[in-house]
Structure 1
Amino acid sequence: MRLYDLRHINASLMLKYGVSAKVASSRLGHSNIAITLDLYLHVYSEVESEAASKIDTGIFQKVN
């Protein structure tokens, strides 16, 4: 396993487990959050989708 692979795993896990993209960006040493999101958008999109699903469930459980 290369050092780059470990860095990628670290970044992906931070985003997957809810660490904000801003914090992940800072820890990775990216100059701005856009770089982090460009590189790891697939993971971030998954996290955003999970958040939307939880909000949706919460709203409809309250209505019903």
Structure 2
Amino acid sequence: MINELSRHKLAQKQTMMKHRYIYHDEDFVFACIDDELPGHPLYIKKVENRMRRLLKIAELNPELTPHSLRHTHTSLLAQAGVSLPQIMERLGHKDEDTTKNVYLHVTKEMKKEASQKFKELMENL
């Protein structure tokens, strides 16, 4: 995956240089690299269609979407102990409530787990 993303990033840089005066540089991961709208974000339908094909080829869960991957990423950040402001910045969220919907769900699970671990520790004393 890292190799593919590196190749993709290189293709984007080449497009940036080719269209340096009109390239829409907002640091999108999946930006157009063609001559039509260089640097603009890909249409979500295009990304979803590609992802659906790749999931089928890889025989993975066809219910996955780009948004579900973003949600998983957010959950993993919260589980890793990354602070809410850092997660918000990473996701580009300005509204705390948007991030909290996922973040608080994960932290509630973490609290349950911590409680369970403490219970087990006390039982083993």
TM-score w.r.t. the length of structure 1 is: 0.64
Q: CA RMSD in A?
A: 2.4
Q: Whose Rg is larger? A: 2
Alignment-derived partner of residue 18 in structure 1: 81
Partner of 2:95: 32
Kept in 2, the 8 Å contact 1:25–1:33? The answer is yes
Shift, 1:18, TM fit:
0.6
Equivalenced residues, count: 54
In the TM superposition, what is the alpha-carbon distance from 1:35 to its structure 2 partner?
2.4
Measure, in 1, the Cα distance between the counterparts of 2:83 and 2:91: 12
Alignment partner for residue 71 of structure 2, among 8, 15, 27? 8
Give the structure with the larger helix fraction: 1
TM-score (norm 2): 0.36
Q: 1:62 maps to what in 2?
A: none
In structure 1, C-alpha distance between the alignment counterparts of 2:90 and 2:107, rounded to whole Å: 16
Structure 1 gaps of 5+ residues are 58-64
The amino acid across from 2:71 in the alignment is H
Runs of 4 or more consecutive aligned structure 1 residues displaced over 6 Å after TM superposition: none
